[in-house]
Chain A
């Protein structure tokens, strides 16, 4: 069962902030975040490990609530280059440690 991402799409103006959520019904080992531009390969952003770690990558950070099996990706002061589809991938011990991806969140940043 794949994780659920919300929202499905979001439109921002340059400089605005956004939050993308990822929820799983299973206990998780880790959550992996990727960004994909249209027709290109998904690019790894960061990994969140069990333990509630919060990690950052420039102006993009994320958190992982182990109790709720939820992760959130925070994009602050968005730039045009942030446009794309964001996928969360979850790894769960009950899923054979495969990485299962959510349906994606389309982010469009306008000037």
Chain B
């Protein structure tokens, strides 16, 4: 158990819908990262927040957005969902902005 929590564990929804994924970092960690992993693929970096501020963006679609709240938990919002958005979404946290990242258990999103 890495100490990073993610909810929900599974999410099934329809095309065109909007969902919110939630992540709570390890105690004391200020950074939260979001990754997308499609079936049997690598980890694609989406976005990084540090202490409430956006620090870096990767290949994140305009339909996706994220934020980190004052209590340091983070939410990833996915809208106008498409079949291709079906994937595992992982959140990771680290103490600083360049430290080791510890991954949460992930949210499996299925878009039907």
Contacts and interface: CB of A to CB of B under 8 A. Distances in A.
Interface in B2-35: 2, 33
B42 interface: yes
Nearest to B106: A41
Interface string A100-111: 111110000000
B49 interface: no
Given A29-B98, A96-B56, A98-B58, A41 B105 contact: yes
A97 B97 contact: yes
Given A87-B42, A99-B45, A44 B100 contact: yes
Nearest to A46: B100
A41 B103 contact: yes
Interface string B32-64: 010000000111110010000000101000000
Q: Is the interface of B mostly helix, strand, loop or mixed?
A: loop
Interface residues of B, number: 22
Given A41-B106, A96-B56, A98-B56, A32 B101 contact: yes
A96 B57 CA distance: 10
7 contacts: A40-B106, A41-B2, A42-B103, A43-B2, A44-B101, A98-B58, A99-B45
In the A-B complex, the 7 residue pairs with the smallest Cβ-Cβ separation, listed nearest first, are A41-B103, A101-B43, A103-B42, A42-B103, A41-B105, A96-B56, A98-B56
Given A41-B103, A101-B42, 14 more contacts: A32-B100, A34-B103, A41-B104, A42-B43, A42-B90, A42-B103, A44-B100, A44-B102, A87-B42, A87-B43, A89-B43, A96-B56, A97-B56, A99-B45
